[in-house]
Amino acid sequence: MSEPVWVRRALIAVAVLFLAILILMPAAAVFSEAMRKGFSFYIASIRDPLALSALRLTLLTAAVTLAANLVFGLAASWLIAKFDFPGRSLLLSLIDLPFAVSPVISGLIFILLFGARGWFGPALTDHGIQVVFATPGVILATVFVTFPFIARELIPLMQEQGSEEEEAAVLLGASGWQTFRRVTLPNIRWALAYGVVLANARAMGEFGAVSVVSGHIRGRTNTLPLHVEILYNEYNFSAAFAVASLLMLLAFVTLAVKTALEWRIRAEQRLIEGGS
């Protein structure tokens, strides 16, 4: 680096200032606002039945979403990375669709499909199944918004690794399941975990799509982000920030796990480069 010292210092100062204004200050604001009315109020806000029910729904949604996307992400990546078939590139583009579509539109899609006047809405209502403005809608919208994360992590890695190890396993007598369990899965485990963490962060924080399909029914279809919005709109700032701080804590955990995983993946990549 040949830049003079003052240039370097100036650049560092700009970066630090930027981080402080855009990231650190808001984060600090969340916690200080949450504590404004004291610690007991903070605890009370979090232990409010409506807040707890929002937390439960958020955790349930995240759990179902991850399970669904784990299966879908693995299947799609396996298919795209290891096989060549007509429509392969179309499938690859479709996986990216949720990234390209605005979350609000993603929510509206499900209203159109399953709403009272939607394509399947009346039929479902006849059978006593409610999708929109109920938990299934919240889960569907979240699954839709987060499904590219895992597949996007896995496809490049699986393509790079090729299918020779799987072929070797099959020729040694392994069944399809044994090949997957003993060869494919261990080779992608860290990238898979990374994708899960990213998808989880998005699933817990998703606002737009969920906001459209949830109907904001307190205690029933409110997720944590929606609950924060309601509290805020009711000028209940301290409670809003207290609940928001829960999401912040979830974000910190995500960040820590993500950093640890990135470290593992880099170690693994060195292993691939050294191994080929």
d(CA 145, CA 139) in angstroms, rounded, equals 10
In this structure, the number of other CB atoms found within 10 A of the CB of residue 195 comes to 27
- What's the min distance (Å) between Cβ of 261 and another protein? 16
Size of interface with another protein, in residues (CB under 8 A): 21
Closest contact distance (angstroms) between CB of 95 and another protein is: 25
Other beta carbons less than 10 A from residue 237's beta carbon = 14
| Beta carbon nearer to another protein, 126 or 273 | 273
Determine the Cα–Cα distance for residues 228 and 221; give it in Å rounded to an integer: 13
CA distance 69 to 75: 9
- 276 lies in the site for another protein, by CB under 8 A: yes
Nearer residue to another protein within complex by CB, 26 or 186:
186
Q: At its nearest, how many Å lie between another protein and the CB of residue 47?
A: 45
Q: Smaller CB distance to another protein: residue 2 or 276?
A: 276
Residue 60 in contact with residue 135, Cβ under 8 Å? yes
Q: Which residues contact 174 (CB under 8 A, 6 or more apart)?
A: 182, 183
Pairwise CA distance, residues 250 & 31, whole Å = 14
Q: Judged by CB, which is closer to another protein: 129, or 185?
A: 185
DSSP state of 139: H
171 belongs to the binding site for another protein (CB under 8 A)? yes
Q: What is the smallest separation between the CB atom of 158 and another protein, expressed in angstroms? A: 13
Q: 196 CB contacts (<8 Å, ≥6 apart)?
A: 66, 69, 70, 150
Applying CB under 8 A, does 167 fall inside the site for another protein? yes
175 scored as a contact of another protein (CB under 8 A): yes
178 is a contact residue toward another protein (CB under 8 A) = yes
What backbone torsions phi and psi does residue 220 show, to the nearest 5 degrees?
-125, -50
Nearer to another protein by Cβ, of 233 and 276: the residue is 276
Specify the amino acid at residue 43: I
Cβ distance to another protein smaller for residue 66 or 191: 191
Smaller CB distance to another protein: residue 42 or 194?
Answer: 194
275: contact with another protein by CB under 8 A: yes
169 binds another protein (CB under 8 A): yes
| 183 counts as binding another protein under rule CB under 8 A | yes
CB of 88 to another protein, least distance (A): 14
Rounded to whole angstroms, how far apart are CA atoms 45 and 53?
A: 12
Q: Which of residues 235-274 bind another protein (CB under 8 A)?
A: 271-272, 274
Measured CA to CA, the distance from residue 138 to residue 79 in angstroms comes to 28
Q: Which of 8, 36, 88, 182 binds another protein (CB under 8 A)?
A: 182
* Beta carbons of 248 and 27 less than 8 angstroms apart: yes
For another protein, give the closer residue by CB, 128 or 274. 274
CB of 178 to another protein, least distance (A): 5
CA 7-9-12 angle, to 5 degrees, is: 110
The phi and psi torsions of 185 (rounded to 5 degrees) equal -60, -50
> Which residues would be at the binding site for another protein (CB under 8 A)?
164-165, 167-175, 178, 182-183, 186-187, 271-272, 274-276
